[in-house]
Structure 1
Amino acid sequence: MKLIGVDLGGTTFSVGLVSEDGKILKKITRDTLVDNGKDDVIRRIAEAILEVSDGEDTPYVGIGSPGSIDRENGVVRFSPNFPDWHNVPLTYEISRLTKKKAFLENDANAFVLGEKWFGAGKGRDHIVALTLGTGIGGGVITHGQLLTGKDGIGAELGHVVVEPNGPMCNCGTRGCLEAIASATAIRRFLREGYKKYRDSLVYKLAGSPEKADAKHLFDAARQGDRFALMIRDRVVDALARAVAGYIHIFNPEIVIIGGGISRAGSVLFDPLKEKVIDYIMPSFVGTYEIVASPLVEDAGILGAASIIKERTGG
């Protein structure tokens, strides 16, 4: 049996045919075209599923969706990426159009499931996975099970407050991890810093302050640029405070960091590992690993496909 994973985003969606051991055999990426309305989006997702699965044994579809979802009933309650989606019975509609049983999960939870089944968390029962992109999301596996909380909306790892008087987050709270360590936050810091640090290597690499992003920041930090290192250190401190909290609360075997920022490599991970030790109790030192996700490019599809393995018992 092969798996079908749907990575649903506000700009594009991807559908992949995935082998049992996590190899992507075929992939389609298309524009979501949210403005066309939910019926059109769902129809085109179903068409892509049928195209990818043509002639293959694929009785199941896993869907990773942003927003608040009812996983048991396969309903997208609401999503900031899809303004007209309110209580949309997504799995029912996909099953009706494709004649395949569909499963739905929040995309951040799908990310940690992908790591559990196909990534750095394979063979582990206690995992924290954090994805650093436009925003920050993540999920938690404890005793081999996905931790979702009473209402299925727990493990909002990006909204841990790490700077009480810090920048305003999109959620309405000040100082969330997402407001400091996401790609969006880094771009904002770089735009704000231009007036004072216009000679920074960051802006030379980017070409202009408007184009400066996380990649330029870490490239400049790698070369010892003072401004870049200052921003890098703020990002690292925020991440370390949050990760230390996760370690104290969940006692994971491994903390996996994915998303585009995870590609920064040692210039991010070396100081992060050192800083986490500053914030944890001595008894926790050496009980965990902090690693970059190996799934970066295809984490969305593999996470969605892993929902099937999770719901059908592997």
Structure 2
Amino acid sequence: MRKAICFDVGGTFIKHAVIDEEGKVYDFGKTPTPKANIRSEIVLLIQSIANKSKETHLIEGIGISSCGIVDKKNGRILVSANIPDYSGFEIVREVENATDLSVLLENDVRAACLGERWKGIAKKSDHIVMITLGTGIGSGIIANGKLVEGEHGLAGEFGHMIISINGEPCPCGMKGCYERYASTSAFISQYCHAANIAPYPNKISGETIMELVRKRDSIAVSVYEQYLEYVVTGLVNIAHSINPEIILIGGGISEQGEHFISSIRSLFKKRAMKVYQDYTRIDIPSLGNLSGLAGAGYLVLSQDVMKGM
């Protein structure tokens, strides 16, 4: 059975697992993302885990799902807001040199989108959009069964579509970006502003606010209802422009489960054109922490697993 060792590199944790060509997961684990000597420590970590995996598995190659904007053709991280000194890192070359295995790199949300299509809730669907609502908004598109990459591999940055002209400044240099209104960090900022409190000294989180929503706190409920409008504004734009069969919403806020997704579905039906209401399914990824790892495994093993897609 052919297998890949897969890594999902995030700002907080690096998850890893061995995945075979049928999608079975072995030896799942996670470790905190290094905070110093980032590049060398990530390579040493991957090398150590890969060497251990090779003792018990026949490893075909390494798949890396990573946060940030990636240049998969040249195997490097173009831009990363979540890991210091990660931008510009030629991760593929460094890991290949350290492990003597071939390495394939993909953005984490695109990899998760592939994973959900291979073994998750979007299995067999040919038209998929996945977004994650976190510190920012990540996204991936599958159209006609293939990942949409664009001319330079930069397609699908929905977090930076403009939903408010001359709106809030975004670190990308523009104003009014979707992620400045619909990310989890935006949700926290909106609540703190409405409640007239400082966000970080008080350690306010999305879960903290949602607990207040469940208790029917008037400020929290008002902010949450406005936040849902922001999220759905982006979903309507995506549906009208891409016409996906399914839109998957991941990230911290999606962990609220049915309460969150049912509110999104209801509001989407009020805001989208009728024909898109009928043909757009909105759901939560089913693989959880394994979505990105599954997608990374699919990249490495795709010549054989494609038969099951």
Normalising to structure 1: TM-score of the pair? 0.87
1:17-67 deviation digits (Å, cap 9, x = unpaired): 123343432123223324214233212222122223432011111101222
Residues 1:298 and 2:298 aligned together: no
Per the alignment, residue 160 of structure 2 pairs with 159
Alignment of 1:268-287 (within 5 A): 268-287=260-279
Distance 1:10 1:265, change over 3 A: closer
Distance 1:267 1:220, change over 3 A: farther
Asked if the contact 2:15–2:29 (Cα under 8 Å) also holds between the matched residues in 1, the reply is yes
Asked if the contact 2:131–2:139 (Cα under 8 Å) also holds between the matched residues in 1, the reply is yes
Q: More relative contact order in 1 or in 2 (CA 8 Å, sep 6+)? A: 2
Q: Percent identity?
A: 30
Alignment of 1:69-84 (within 5 A): 69-84=70-85
Residues 1:228 and 2:220 aligned together: yes
Shift of 1:311: 6.5
Question: What letter corresponds to residue 214 of structure 2 in structure 1?
Answer: R
Normalising to structure 2: TM-score of the pair? 0.89
Q: What CA distance in whole angstroms lies between the structure 2 residues aligned with 1:78 and 1:32?
A: 17
Asked if the contact 2:17–2:29 (Cα under 8 Å) also holds between the matched residues in 1, the reply is yes
Asked if the contact 2:66–2:108 (Cα under 8 Å) also holds between the matched residues in 1, the reply is yes
Distance 1:11 1:45, change over 3 A: same
Distance 1:161 1:48, change over 3 A: same
Asked if the contact 1:28–1:52 (Cα under 8 Å) also holds between the matched residues in 2, the reply is no
Q: What CA distance in whole angstroms lies between the structure 1 residues aligned with 2:117 and 2:172?
A: 28
The answer to which of 4-13 and 126-135 deviates more is 4-13
Question: What letter corresponds to residue 287 of structure 1 in structure 2?
Answer: Y
Shift of 1:2: 2.1
Shift of 1:174: 2.5
Distance 1:78 1:168, change over 3 A: closer
Q: What CA distance in whole angstroms lies between the structure 2 residues aligned with 1:80 and 1:265?
A: 27
Alignment of 1:67-146 (within 5 A): 67-85=68-86, 87-146=88-147
Per the alignment, residue 182 of structure 2 pairs with 181
Q: What is the count of residue pairs matched by the alignment? A: 305
- The secondary structure found in structure 2 opposite 1:174 is coil
Asked if the contact 1:221–1:228 (Cα under 8 Å) also holds between the matched residues in 2, the reply is yes
Per the alignment, residue 150 of structure 2 pairs with 149
Distance 1:57 1:94, change over 3 A: same
Residues 1:2 and 2:7 aligned together: no
Gaps spanning 5+ residues in structure 2: where? none
Q: What CA distance in whole angstroms lies between the structure 2 residues aligned with 1:23 and 1:218?
A: 34
Per the alignment, residue 259 of structure 1 pairs with 251
Q: 2:237 aligns with which of 237, 240, 245?
A: 245
Q: What CA distance in whole angstroms lies between the structure 2 residues aligned with 1:46 and 1:155?
A: 32
Per the alignment, residue 45 of structure 1 pairs with 46
Distance 1:126 1:223, change over 3 A: same
Asked if the contact 1:181–1:238 (Cα under 8 Å) also holds between the matched residues in 2, the reply is yes
Q: What CA distance in whole angstroms lies between the structure 2 residues aligned with 1:269 and 1:132?
A: 13
Asked if the contact 2:20–2:297 (Cα under 8 Å) also holds between the matched residues in 1, the reply is no
Shift of 1:183: 1.9
Q: What CA distance in whole angstroms lies between the structure 2 residues aligned with 1:296 and 1:235?
A: 23
Gaps spanning 5+ residues in structure 1: where? none
Aligned-CA RMSD value: 2.5
- The secondary structure found in structure 2 opposite 1:104 is strand
Shift of 1:83: 4.4
Shift of 1:82: 4.5
- The secondary structure found in structure 2 opposite 1:121 is coil
- The secondary structure found in structure 2 opposite 1:4 is strand
- The secondary structure found in structure 1 opposite 2:132 is strand
The answer to which of 2-11 and 74-83 deviates more is 74-83
Residues 1:217 and 2:209 aligned together: yes
Q: What CA distance in whole angstroms lies between the structure 1 residues aligned with 2:292 and 2:249?
A: 14
Flag as ranges the 4+ runs of structure 1 deviating above 6 A: none
Asked if the contact 2:22–2:305 (Cα under 8 Å) also holds between the matched residues in 1, the reply is no
The answer to which of 66-75 and 241-250 deviates more is 66-75
Question: What letter corresponds to residue 40 of structure 2 in structure 1?
Answer: D
Question: What letter corresponds to residue 211 of structure 1 in structure 2?
Answer: K
Distance 1:52 1:28, change over 3 A: farther
Distance 1:309 1:259, change over 3 A: farther
Asked if the contact 1:107–1:300 (Cα under 8 Å) also holds between the matched residues in 2, the reply is yes
Asked if the contact 1:2–1:17 (Cα under 8 Å) also holds between the matched residues in 2, the reply is yes
